[in-house]
Structure 1
């Protein structure tokens, strides 16, 4: 056929019109160059001349940059891996270990369209429809000297997941009448698996792997991968990843390799499917090559992408180590399409930005508005993912956090306590104190203590102590419930968990005696000082010792904890605050800098005043023990020492204020970030209002400094 077509082509006129034989020749040659491995071909030019050219698999003139990329990147990739699935073949084409290939005769490669599949004997076949509605190939051999007539039908990809009840049913249907393409079976099994519970899905997957037809289906998939439609190949690969087929198996690695070879066939639909699959896969050489290719495609085609979902899939796929220029280009494309964003697009944008670690405040602000406007009925999974993405991106939007907290509080009875606790743990990472929600949760825990166990009690204590939250009406009963949960599980709690829980109680001015006695056993203390995070354990043991010595506790035993000496604290008080105090008080003799106090307590500045705090006393004339002398401690604190966008001190700062009050100090907090933004004269005015103020401390601070 090729010879006949070539002669006809060379003898034809040059008027631009090809006869049918010429068209057939060019079509066959194009299919051959697509299916054949890289080799030297003789290409015929319109003028009847021939020239030598290197033909690459799946060359696509629409993506000229990727033409060379495939061959450069793949040459350095090794495809040897362990623990591959065992695939059997009666022909012996597929082996168990090493690199496995299925050999296809050259004549079949030449004449077979990508839409066709081959049976194990590489026979020609046509397409028919079986009784069960699945497309079926009937093998036949029609003798012809010039051509083999191949009848093909577009593979039917309609959703058949409703026709089967289990993954094994799909494999049974395949074993009875295998159809093309094999990827449709994997896609159907994935859709069925999505409807199952976690336990049922695990059981069904085990049955799938042990099914006698599963290896045969994998074999068919590998054999057909080079000739099926590219989107069908990608649908099958994505379904395999979601079904949990191990990534290092021969099946998945073979499909990754073929996907690389045919990456130039990507249109926008394929780009979306491939990006989704790659984004969910673990790094390996084949995945890394595909990710690099997708970055090139994204850079080339970002302005041509029409679907928002495809854009977000590309953002997730390019990864955190993508070039900043590519991240910026994707961000600009998303900003350009903001008016087309659906509610779901806005919700997913948080995860897309977090996946490539790109903090676009403008994009996040706009998406936050859409999320808040449509928050009612929003699933918990989406809200969790939004908060997790904001945490990873260090994006602290108080309006968004408040809106989510208010929504959870308003629908509190609809949530399980574990879900609410998950929200509170995420809020704590922002330093955000959702007052109303935390009060509701405290009341619920008091009313339903059976919810508590060691893990939940430890998590709850961490959140409430970190944010310094208490409620005078129910704080004592709430902490008693926490202490009861710890006491009932002392036989199974680890030393690290016990130390963490006890320190959280101490920060909140509560002291569970049974837990403390267990913690201060010599063997437990010795374990904490020699294993795990020793530096953190030493810090927490010092905190415990200070609380037991200063606070009004029922613990009466003498403490003999062998702790290493406290390292010298760095001396770098805030220069602007020091200058403002010098101007305000009239020299350095009226205050002291970087004062080290007993119990490992350090303050930035100390001022001594009269009992009414109306006059500053020089240090040379003041006696710190005199009854008419008021010692003032000035603490320079960072914004992170407060709860987000508030003046409420977090747990450790509140505890330090409580201890300074016990030692006879009046505490003044100076926000260093606020001072740095002010002119010197304004900073002096602010400090004057704090130093000479006689107003009592806020009620929240009083609660945190006094026993419950």
Structure 2
């Protein structure tokens, strides 16, 4: 018995001498106490059983309860069991599963583990002999390859632990390739005989490799285009779920990026839920702004509002540490998590405006798109971006500038200098106008009611000529949209309108899924052809379906004010006019607009010649451009048509009337009714000639 015990202690000393270590504890940023292990002459990520405690003894069977060792048998990987060995204990509390494995350098006596032949051509003794074993391929050598197949060839020649090196190396190489080359190389990767073996290795090593290696591997696998529903990806997702408590701040960043890149599925949703719980517990311990923003993007739009608020407060606390890139990125972050924080957006807007020189247009477009998603309007930000685009206009492609204009139109933001510059460029480079770009260009300019001055005529002619060139290829709905935009700008190109008025096209539009919208736009066309007096075009002969009456918005305050100012019987309310035009209030005055006439007197034939009809329109903010001084397209067209029908138009801003006291509101209405000045109207519109 004593001999047996003495032999055991001697073997234990020899075993412990193979792995001299020193252990120091460190507290990571998220509060998890992970061991910091210093090794001498050992690579801590390429050895099995690299952490020892010489004070106690226990079985390590549990360390490999889910692990398998590979043995190559022909072309098929087989598993070989591991017999239990009594060795010093390892604290799983402080370092769960933080073990590395390299079968070629297993510091265990020959009788402790069964010998495993990973290389059929080498003997067991060769594998355990350092002088004759093949040199492990490190990550730096792997990424020096020119193709993904080179990495797989290296794996098939001398597979080493961990497999994460191979996947990370393949993704690093793939990032350097063009899209076509990347597509070709990925196909070769899937067909490579060692690819399946590498995937099998990866699944078996997932539970014993370092957690950050596991995350980097999963990210590389996703970016390499390996289908998400494969056993490999789903297995790694499950292991990541099980080990999520091992996350430090770096792991949180990688995990957040992985979730952002993956499509929703059961395992992804569970992992995202786990990330939310983890972040909710440790949000105040996150030190890096980049990690904070990565986490905010990955928690999802359906995250609890309390968690979103907590992340917002953390971001506000870190505002002083925001870099220019952090400020630019915050717009997309908030849009991704669907959380609007005006304070945060305002501060980031100031940073973006102050450092806009040299900013790529792609980033500015992303900022504008995020503002659209968040319904955030900042006039200073929009002006700063527009001024920068004007200054660097020649650097950008017209398609890029058009996309900026489209986003500005979503905010009803009209930057005259930028739109004038774009108009001039379109006239000079008409080849830019393709069938896909004509309709959005016309929509932007008609919606913002911009064409004015000398260049407008040339611009509209150029747009009409470009549309005429695509009449045989454009769809009926796109043709209707383009012609409707021309009508709003009081311009009527002959060929496009004549083609649109063909009976078969009208019938097609009225039978489509968007028949109500198409009928409304055809009504606009019919009204413009009638009221704008375009003699070279025939009227719309087709019988259009009757549209539902315009919704009536009660203007009780304005009606009460008019009663106090004029008295009952001096105005009409909710007047419906021909061509589907509606006005809120109508009053009738003498030709000099010095006196309001009672409706009974104004209806007599004897005084009809001296009557001036006045239309009072109560308009919301949405009918103006963002600066609230320039009417948009439909309002400008309505004002033009009312003038043709003999009305003088007065605009009353709803939001301003609500803020005024009764006395001030009456004074305002009186000044507008008896004023001899013209109301703010659209800029000069032009009529085409035949």
Q: Give the TM-score normalised by the residue count of structure 1.
A: 0.81
Q: 1:580-613: per-residue Cα shift (whole Å, max 9, x none)?
A: 222222x231110000011111100111111121
Between the aligned partners of 1:373 and 1:200, the Cα distance in structure 2 is 40
Contact persistence 1:126–1:140 (CA under 8 A): no
Is residue 81 of structure 2 the alignment partner of residue 105 of structure 1? yes
Is residue 627 of structure 2 the alignment partner of residue 594 of structure 1? no
Corresponding residue number in structure 1 for 2:227? 246
Is residue 671 of structure 2 the alignment partner of residue 689 of structure 1? yes
* Aligned with 1:126 (options 75, 94, 105): 105
Between the aligned partners of 2:548 and 2:243, the Cα distance in structure 1 is 62
Q: 1:680 to 1:90 in 2, by over 3 A?
A: farther
Report the alpha carbon displacement of residue 558 of structure 1 after superposing the two structures with TM.
Answer: 3.6
Corresponding residue number in structure 2 for 1:657? 639
Matches within 5 A, 1:546-565: 546-565=527-546
Q: 1:398-448: per-residue Cα shift (whole Å, max 9, x none)?
A: 111110010001000000000000100111111111111110000000000
Is residue 58 of structure 2 the alignment partner of residue 25 of structure 1? yes
Report the alpha carbon displacement of residue 704 of structure 1 after superposing the two structures with TM.
Answer: 4.2
Between the aligned partners of 2:542 and 2:358, the Cα distance in structure 1 is 53
After the TM superposition, which of the residue ranges 575-584 and 456-465 deviates more from structure 2?
Answer: 575-584
Report the alpha carbon displacement of residue 372 of structure 1 after superposing the two structures with TM.
Answer: 0.8
Corresponding residue number in structure 2 for 1:326? 307
Q: 1:382 to 1:571 in 2, by over 3 A?
A: closer
Q: 1:651 to 1:140 in 2, by over 3 A?
A: farther
Matches within 5 A, 1:612-623: 612-623=592-603
Is residue 674 of structure 2 the alignment partner of residue 641 of structure 1? no
Local SS of the residue matching 1:25: strand
Q: 1:400 to 1:702 in 2, by over 3 A?
A: closer
Between the aligned partners of 2:622 and 2:147, the Cα distance in structure 1 is 53
Q: 1:636 to 1:160 in 2, by over 3 A?
A: farther
Between the aligned partners of 1:582 and 1:323, the Cα distance in structure 2 is 51
Report the alpha carbon displacement of residue 204 of structure 1 after superposing the two structures with TM.
Answer: 3.0
Between the aligned partners of 1:535 and 1:338, the Cα distance in structure 2 is 49
Structure 2: runs of 5 or more not aligned: 10-51, 91-96, 108-117, 131-135
Contact persistence 1:391–1:430 (CA under 8 A): yes
Between the aligned partners of 2:183 and 2:532, the Cα distance in structure 1 is 53
Matches within 5 A, 1:187-226: 187-226=168-207
Report the alpha carbon displacement of residue 140 of structure 1 after superposing the two structures with TM.
Answer: 7.9
Contact persistence 1:623–1:629 (CA under 8 A): no
Between the aligned partners of 1:323 and 1:299, the Cα distance in structure 2 is 10
Q: 1:473-525: per-residue Cα shift (whole Å, max 9, x none)?
A: 11111111111111111111111111111111111111122111211222211
Report the alpha carbon displacement of residue 110 of structure 1 after superposing the two structures with TM.
Answer: 9.7
Between the aligned partners of 1:502 and 1:567, the Cα distance in structure 2 is 23
Report the alpha carbon displacement of residue 242 of structure 1 after superposing the two structures with TM.
Answer: 2.0
Q: 1:139-185: per-residue Cα shift (whole Å, max 9, x none)?
A: 88689xxxxx9xxxxx9976567623333333333333333222222
Corresponding residue number in structure 2 for 1:428? 409
Is residue 481 of structure 2 the alignment partner of residue 500 of structure 1? yes
Report the alpha carbon displacement of residue 542 of structure 1 after superposing the two structures with TM.
Answer: 1.1
After the TM superposition, which of the residue ranges 306-315 and 208-217 deviates more from structure 2?
Answer: 208-217
* Aligned with 1:233 (options 203, 211, 214): 214
Is residue 610 of structure 2 the alignment partner of residue 628 of structure 1? yes
Between the aligned partners of 1:450 and 1:265, the Cα distance in structure 2 is 58
Corresponding residue number in structure 1 for 2:583? 603
Q: 1:696 to 1:323 in 2, by over 3 A?
A: same
Report the alpha carbon displacement of residue 533 of structure 1 after superposing the two structures with TM.
Answer: 1.4
Q: 1:686 to 1:166 in 2, by over 3 A?
A: farther
Between the aligned partners of 2:145 and 2:685, the Cα distance in structure 1 is 61
Q: 1:20 to 1:177 in 2, by over 3 A?
A: closer
Between the aligned partners of 1:345 and 1:453, the Cα distance in structure 2 is 37
Q: 1:519 to 1:402 in 2, by over 3 A?
A: same
Report the alpha carbon displacement of residue 219 of structure 1 after superposing the two structures with TM.
Answer: 2.4
Q: 1:363-384: per-residue Cα shift (whole Å, max 9, x none)?
A: 1111111111111111122111
Local SS of the residue matching 2:146: coil
Corresponding residue number in structure 2 for 1:667? 649
Is residue 452 of structure 2 the alignment partner of residue 419 of structure 1? no
Local SS of the residue matching 1:567: coil
Matches within 5 A, 1:337-416: 337-416=318-397
Corresponding residue number in structure 2 for 1:116? 100
Corresponding residue number in structure 1 for 2:40? none
Q: 1:333-380: per-residue Cα shift (whole Å, max 9, x none)?
A: 101111111111111111111111000011111111111111111112
Q: 1:459 to 1:90 in 2, by over 3 A?
A: farther
Corresponding residue number in structure 1 for 2:289? 308
Between the aligned partners of 1:488 and 1:516, the Cα distance in structure 2 is 13
Corresponding residue number in structure 2 for 1:259? 240
Between the aligned partners of 2:636 and 2:220, the Cα distance in structure 1 is 53
Q: 1:431-475: per-residue Cα shift (whole Å, max 9, x none)?
A: 111111110000000000000111111110011111111132111
Corresponding residue number in structure 1 for 2:446? 465
Local SS of the residue matching 2:637: helix
Between the aligned partners of 1:575 and 1:643, the Cα distance in structure 2 is 26
RMSD: 3.2
Matches within 5 A, 1:443-592: 443-585=424-566, 587-592=567-572
Contact persistence 2:100–2:208 (CA under 8 A): yes
Report the alpha carbon displacement of residue 187 of structure 1 after superposing the two structures with TM.
Answer: 1.9
Between the aligned partners of 2:195 and 2:358, the Cα distance in structure 1 is 41
Between the aligned partners of 2:76 and 2:314, the Cα distance in structure 1 is 47
Between the aligned partners of 2:86 and 2:467, the Cα distance in structure 1 is 73
Q: 1:204 to 1:671 in 2, by over 3 A?
A: farther
Between the aligned partners of 2:73 and 2:544, the Cα distance in structure 1 is 71
Between the aligned partners of 2:106 and 2:218, the Cα distance in structure 1 is 24
* Aligned with 1:280 (options 239, 247, 261): 261
Structure 1: runs of 5 or more not aligned: 9-18, 38-87, 95-101, 119-123, 129-136, 144-148, 150-154
Between the aligned partners of 1:676 and 1:423, the Cα distance in structure 2 is 34
Corresponding residue number in structure 2 for 1:65? none
Local SS of the residue matching 2:58: helix
Local SS of the residue matching 1:589: coil
Q: 1:240-274: per-residue Cα shift (whole Å, max 9, x none)?
A: 22222221222211211111111111111111100
Q: 1:624 to 1:508 in 2, by over 3 A?
A: farther
Corresponding residue number in structure 1 for 2:36? none
Contact persistence 1:608–1:617 (CA under 8 A): yes
Local SS of the residue matching 1:514: helix
